[in-house]
Amino acid sequence: MSLHLKALTKWDGRMIYEMLQEIDDNDHGFKNEVKGKTYEEYGEWLSKNEQFSRGSGLETWMVPQTIYWMYYDQTPVGYGRIRHWLNDNLKENSGHIGYAIPLSQRGKGYGNEILRLLIHECYDLKINPIQIGVNPSNKPSNKIVKRNGGVLHKVSKTKNIYHITL
Ligand SMILES: CC(C)(COP(=O)(O)OP(=O)(O)OC[C@H]1O[C@@H](n2cnc3c(N)ncnc32)[C@H](O)[C@@H]1OP(=O)(O)O)[C@@H](O)C(=O)NCCC(=O)NCCS
């Protein structure tokens, strides 16, 4: 079945938990809230995020967001998320898509692949153009976005802001 995405559910188990321990809590601006959490806390986090994807349980500053796991066959090899729309704050300095590959799986082309698959999901969510914010010093990620059709839209205080038009 090779590479594919699955949306987060509250039933996700140990393999996802282990993968998430391989991504820093703040990895080049990508926030991983599960790093360092216990397995029980991870379960609560899953339930909360399943709700966020449906637009419920959100605080006023939040927008709906869906988290996806990228699998190679049965093995999780990536973490992606899509914000369904952007508020003014996110428009200024961030974007719709975030992604990370666990340390042991980097340098195998998965970064390019997860963005390609997330762009397909954005098409279904009718997000167009797609905005992505990348730290200027993050060489692989700037490459990945450009390779997937990203065009530099502006440079904010801390990010290169790209647009991908579908
Ligand atoms: C950025 C990240 C997703 C890249 O994942 P990856 O699976 O290693 O990426 P790939 O193997 O697909 O490589 C992507 C490109 O970057 C290049 N690259 C990889 N590591 C690199 C490095 N350390 N320096 C420069 N280029 C690098 C690759 O050669 C490739 O270029 P190519 O398409 O021209 O061959 C991964 O490093 C990561 O999870 N970082 C932390 C989170 C993050 O930065 N997320 C992005 C911000 S939202």
Q: Which residues lie with the beta carbon below 6 Å from any ligand 1 atom?
A: 27-30, 98-101, 106-112, 134, 138-141, 143-144, 147
Q: From the CA of 141, how far away is ligand 1's center (Å)? A: 5
Q: From the CA of 102, how far away is ligand 1's center (Å)? A: 11
Say whether pLDDT at 1 is over 80.
no
In whole angstroms, what separates CA 36 from the centre of its chain? 19
Q: From the CA of 144, how far away is ligand 1's center (Å)? A: 7
Place of tokens 């990370």: 100
Q: Which residues make Cβ contacts (< 8 Å) with residue 90, sequence separation at least 6?
A: 63, 83
**CA of 106, closest atom in ligand 1:** 8
For residue 127, CA distances in Å to 48, 99, 119, 120 come to: 23, 17, 9, 10
Q: From the CA of 47, how far away is ligand 1's center (Å)? A: 30
**CA of 139, closest atom in ligand 1:** 25
Select from 106, 114, 134, 160 the residue to mutate for testing ligand 1; criterion: most ligand atoms less than 8 Å from CB: 106
Q: From the CA of 17, how far away is ligand 1's center (Å)? A: 22
Average model confidence (pLDDT) across the chain: 96
DSSP state letters, 40-52: HHHHHHHHHHHHH
CB contact at 8 A, 163 and 122: no
Q: What is the mean pLDDT of residues 156-163?
A: 94
Task: Tell me the pLDDT tens digit for each residue of 78-127.
Answer: 999 999 999 999 999 999 999 999 999 999 999 999 999 999 999 999 99
Q: What is the torsional sign of CA 106, 75, 25, 151? A: positive
Q: From the CA of 117, how far away is ligand 1's center (Å)? A: 16
CA gap 94, 88 in Å, rounded = 10
Adjacency order of strands within the sheet including 160-164: 130-134, 160-164, 151-155
Give the bridge partners for 78, in sequence order.
70
Q: Domain 3-127, what fold?
A: Aminopeptidase (3.40.630)
**CA of 133, closest atom in ligand 1:** 48
**pTM of this prediction?**
0.97
Say whether pLDDT at 24 is over 70.
yes
Task: Tell me the pLDDT tens digit for each residue of 57-90.
Answer: 999 999 999 999 999 999 999 999 999 999 999 9
